Amino acid sequence: MQQDEFEGLQGLVEGWGIWMQPWESFHVATEDLVDAGEGEVLFLGRATARLRDSGVDIPQEIASLFGTEGGRIASIRYYLDQAQARRDAGLG
């Protein structure tokens, strides 16, 4: 069973641990940070990952939508589709 939601700092660590299991390497480069209003920040970037024992780099556009409360990150949604992330942020 795949869990789609994790809570708190421990949940963030657990979720990323699950995500990283198949990868030999995983690198993220920032392309843009956008103030989406209403306490949301949209991260747009590019990931390059390599499956274990494959020797093949896989490039992928990525995005994250951060919700903030009181100057702290309160939620994070991860995307492999930047257009969907923009729509969810109300940016088109």
Identify the burial level of 49 via C-beta atoms within 10 angstroms of its C-beta, where 0-12 means exposed, 13-18 middle and 19 or more buried: buried
pLDDT along the chain (92 residues), means of 10: 75 88 95 97 97 93 96 94 97 90
Domains of the chain, first to last: 23-88 (3.10.450.50)
Closest CA to 6 of 79, 75, 87: 75
Residue 2, pLDDT score: 52
pLDDT of residue 73: 93
The three-state DSSP-derived secondary structure of 25-70 is EEEEEEEEEEEEECCEEEEEEEEEEEECCCCCEEEEEEEEEEEEEC
User: Quick one: tokens of 35?
Assistant: 């103030």
